[in-house]
Chain A
């Protein structure tokens, strides 16, 4: 690998730009390719650029056969992010579990008694309202959003913002009854049933979770399934 390619790759990663390193496994030749535009693709078989975009979208690196030899497309996506609305007990265990699974975690809760450094040391905490926080955080394809407050005036604006984003996972804590009422309120905001189907509620895989830590496991498992199962 040329030093210049390594430097650019590290720069793209620092700036959270999705990038693919393509390597011809026969010759060792390499180039960097991006989700949009043709930069880096000159002189490479056309299917390499297409494979690079697919690899980024599915977060799955792969080797393809081309007339020029096998080419490995290595997808470097920005970190996964978890945005948790509600600095509650479940969040206290979900945040470190998600961090272990590779997520950058942000906790949003305007109630200052909940969102304290003593309870969430080391995690990014925001005390602004969920709709303002979400506008600032700009959730993308690599973002999971969970609402855990049980309080419609905090959860609903966050869910509305989540539905308007490309977030790969949206989960809302609450019983079936609570969730039905929530969907009714969101329908009132103009969301269709198709859009609302993106919300996982009651949140988490059905594994009989009882304690906050077990519920956190079920949430992380469900988010993992959404992230990986399609590509698997």
Chain B
């Protein structure tokens, strides 16, 4: 058994996400962070899970199993533009969330902020 295969499949850690945010900022890019701040039911990621986004929409990390990342990234790009922090709610009762696919029955609240 070699460690190569393991390193290749190890998930990016939260520290790596913040380090990537810092690196993007240092390159002069606009950067936003999205963080899961509350969950109900069978939400796919724990509170504290993060996503870093740059002004072109490139991202690292995750805030769900992939179902709402698209919508969160769009809000993050908007936050980079206007500098306003925002709180996003996704859940089965939210028709937009249903469209973007948080069909697992959970609800999550996400905080999006610009890195200043």
Instruction: Give the interface of A toward B (CB within 8 A).
Output: 1-3, 6-7, 9-10, 13-14, 23, 25, 28, 60-63, 72, 74-76, 92-93, 96, 99-100, 102, 121-123
Which has the most chain B C-beta neighbours within 10 Å: A1, A62, A102, A121? Answer: A1
Contact of A6 among B4, B18, B85, B109 (CB under 8 A): B18
**Are A72 and B115 within 8 A (Cβ)?**
no
What 1/0 mask marks residues of chain B from 37 to 55 whose CB sits below 8 Å from any chain A CB? 1100000001110000000
Instruction: Give the interface of B toward A (CB within 8 A).
Output: 1-7, 9-10, 13-15, 18-19, 21-22, 25, 33, 35, 37-38, 46-48, 85, 87, 109, 111, 113-116
Known contacts: A9-B18, A25-B111, A61-B47. The answer to whether A3 contacts B25 by CB under 8 A is yes
A122's nearest neighbour on chain B, judged by CB, is: B3
CB distance from A150 to the nearest CB of B (A): 21
- CA distance in complex: A13, B15 (Å): 7
CB distance from A60 to the nearest CB of B (A): 7
CB distance from B11 to the nearest CB of A (A): 8
**Are B47 and A63 within 8 A (Cβ)?**
yes
- In addition to A61-B46, A100-B9, 19 A-B residue pairs with Cβ atoms within 8 Å of each other are A1-B113, A1-B114, A2-B116, A3-B116, A9-B18, A13-B15, A23-B113, A25-B37, A25-B85, A25-B87, A60-B47, A72-B38, A72-B47, A74-B37, A93-B1, A96-B1, A102-B13, A121-B1, A122-B7
Known contacts: A6-B115, A121-B3. The answer to whether A63 contacts B109 by CB under 8 A is yes
Known contacts: A6-B22, A25-B111, A99-B10. The answer to whether A122 contacts B2 by CB under 8 A is yes
A102's nearest neighbour on chain B, judged by CB, is: B13
Inside 8 A of B2's CB, which chain A residues have their CB?
121-122
Inside 8 A of B6's CB, which chain A residues have their CB?
96, 99-100, 122
**Are A10 and B46 within 8 A (Cβ)?**
no
